[in-house]
Amino acid sequence: MKLEIKNLSKTYANGVHALKSVNLSIGTGMFGLLGQNGAGKSTLMRTIATLQDADEGSITFGDIDVAKDPGELRKVLGYLPQEFGLYPSATAEEMLLHLADLKGIASKQERRDQVDTLLRKVNLHDKRTQRLGTYSGGMKQRFGIAQALLGDPKIVIVDEPTAGLDPTERNRFYNLLSEIGASITVILSTHIVEDVSTLCHDMAIIGDGEVLLTDDPRKVEASLRGKCWVKSIENEELERHCAEHEVIANHFHLGQMHITVVEENAPGDGFEPKEPTLEDAYFHTLALHRAGKNGK
Ligand code: ADP
């Protein structure tokens, strides 16, 4: 089933134009929505999840018109919000059974079976009688996925799920998400490029409420092939290089600053060719957007 978002716009009461005529078509599998903080990702996620309304535009999922029939969408939706409340003194099993009840899974046996299956799936079965208040960040996020999967959803939305996870927990979480994305639509909203490059077969970059680009991440990356150049410099040389080149990123590696530029032709000046990464393409897209805004 496809999620179709057409001309979706939202302006908050304080005048912030959080979504500007957003168009997206999202099929089965992992879709990455990448953008900086404040880009409008949560606004979009909450609108899809029927928690707030847009001012204009439409969202459909298969035959369901989300604005007209939010109840129908909720029946097939799983949502892991950026922040979700947990009862710290409840155990994972108690909480999931309670949430399964709220989700309308009427039969007690069915609730027990689903909760048992989900706890195994997210690798928390042996911790099921432990209080949620004692869970680590990664365990909480895996619990969050288990609650999002209650009721066998057809579309799952996860908002910034890997922020704050250590590398091991993040990897475990990636494995879990990619398993889920094999059969249903999963929208992963994130500001972490690695989340998208690791997991997603389709993506959009969002900036200032606008979709700046949408494509297969491999194609996005490849679009910069032959145009990416890198150079290691001293910190005090940064300003000059920024003035003379289109510097899209600078980062430190083993204490040395490296800058990346995107230019059609070899810039000379000590730059070496570089195989582009999704992060380069992301920064380049944001830089083009900023330049457009500044009228360059
Ligand atoms: P992201 O999830 O990408 O960080 P958000 O959707 O949270 O972005 O925010 C987009 C913009 O809308 C930001 O400028 C934010 O300050 C603003 N915003 C978000 N929620 C509200 C709200 N309830 N009222 C007013 N402004 C909001």
Query: How far from the centroid of its chain's Cα atoms is residue 2's Cα?
Result: 18
Best residue among 11, 22, 34, 43 to mutate for probing ligand 1's pocket (most ligand atoms within 8 Å of CB) is 43
Output the residue whose Cα is nearest ligand 1's atom 25. Answer: 12
How confident is the model over 66-75, as pLDDT tens digits?
Answer: 999 999 999 9
pLDDT at 229: 96
Which of these ranges, 18-32, 100-114, 157-171, has the smallest mean pLDDT?
157-171
pLDDT at 292: 84
**Do 194 and 103 belong to one domain?**
yes
Distance 9 CA to ligand 1 centre (A): 13
pLDDT at 210: 97
Q: Give the atom of ligand 1 at the shortest distance from the alpha carbon of 42.
A: 2
Distance 38 CA to ligand 1 centre (A): 6
Identify the domain boundary among 218, 253, 270. Answer: 218
Output the residue whose Cα is nearest ligand 1's atom 22. Answer: 12
Distance 235 CA to ligand 1 centre (A): 34
The whole-angstrom separation of Cα 291 and Cα 231 is 23
Output the residue whose Cα is nearest ligand 1's atom 13. Answer: 38
Output the residue whose Cα is nearest ligand 1's atom 21. Answer: 12
**Do 70 and 193 belong to one domain?**
yes
pLDDT at 56: 97
**Do 208 and 226 belong to one domain?**
no
Q: Give the atom of ligand 1 at the shortest distance from the alpha carbon of 82.
A: 2
Q: 45 vs 51, 52, 159, 187, CA distance in Å?
A: 9, 9, 7, 8
What is the pLDDT of the chain when averaged over all its residues?
A: 93
Do 181 and 32 form a contact (C-beta atoms < 8 A)?
Answer: no
Which CATH number is 17's domain given? 3.40.50.300
Q: Give the atom of ligand 1 at the shortest distance from the alpha carbon of 206.
A: 3
Tokens of 67: 């604005």
The whole-angstrom separation of Cα 188 and Cα 182 is 14
| HEC assignment per residue over the chain | CCEEEEEEEEECCCCCEEEEEEEEEECCEEEEEECCCCCCHHHHHHHHCCCCCCCEEEEEECCEECCCCHHHHHHCEEEECCCCCCCCCCEHHHHHHHHHHHCCCCCHHHHHHHHHHHHHHCCCHHHCCCEHHHCCHHHHHHHHHHHHCCCCCCEEEEECCCCCCCHHHHHHHHHHHHHHHCCCEEEEEECCHHHHHHHCCEEEEEECCEEEEEECHHHHHHCCCCCEEEEEECHHHHHHHHHHCCEEEEEEECCEEEEEEECCCCCCCCCEECCCCHHHHHHHHHHHHHHHHCCC
pLDDT at 296: 53
Distance 141 CA to ligand 1 centre (A): 22
Count of other CB atoms within 10 angstroms of residue 174: 18
pLDDT at 295: 63
Report how far apart the first and last C-alpha atoms of the chain are (Å, whole number): 41
- Is residue 294 predicted with pLDDT exceeding 80? no
The whole-angstrom separation of Cα 172 and Cα 149 is 17
Distance 212 CA to ligand 1 centre (A): 18
**Do 44 and 191 belong to one domain?**
yes
The amino acid present at 122, given as its one-letter code, is V
Instruction: With CA atoms as reference, report the closest residue to 177 among 124, 230, 225, 121.
Output: 121
**Do 205 and 237 belong to one domain?**
no
Distance 60 CA to ligand 1 centre (A): 23
pLDDT at 270: 92
**Do 142 and 255 belong to one domain?**
no
**Do 164 and 286 belong to one domain?**
no
Distance 118 CA to ligand 1 centre (A): 32
**Do 228 and 191 belong to one domain?**
no
Identify the domain boundary among 218, 238, 267. Answer: 218
Identify the domain boundary among 196, 218, 240. Answer: 218
**Do 191 and 249 belong to one domain?**
no
How confident is the model over 39-53, as pLDDT tens digits?
Answer: 999 999 999 999 999
Residues contacting ligand 1 via CB (< 6 Å): 12, 14, 16, 18, 35, 37-43
More confident residue, 84 or 229: 229
Q: Give the atom of ligand 1 at the shortest distance from the alpha carbon of 12.
A: 25
Beta bridge partners of 103: none
Best residue among 8, 10, 16, 211 to mutate for probing ligand 1's pocket (most ligand atoms within 8 Å of CB) is 16
Query: How far from the centroid of its chain's Cα atoms is residue 72's Cα?
Result: 24
The mean pLDDT value for 134-151 works out to 91
The count of structural domains within the chain is 2
pLDDT at 173: 86
**Do 164 and 204 belong to one domain?**
yes
Distance 18 CA to ligand 1 centre (A): 6
How confident is the model over 145-199, as pLDDT tens digits?
Answer: 999 999 999 999 999 888 778 888 888 888 888 888 888 999 999 999 999 999 9
Distance 203 CA to ligand 1 centre (A): 21
pLDDT at 109: 96
**Do 209 and 258 belong to one domain?**
no
The mean pLDDT value for 209-222 works out to 96
How confident is the model over 227-285, as pLDDT tens digits?
Answer: 999 999 999 999 999 999 989 999 898 889 999 999 999 998 899 999 999 999 999 99
**Domain hosting residue 145, numbered range:** 3-218
pLDDT at 119: 95
**Do 268 and 209 belong to one domain?**
no
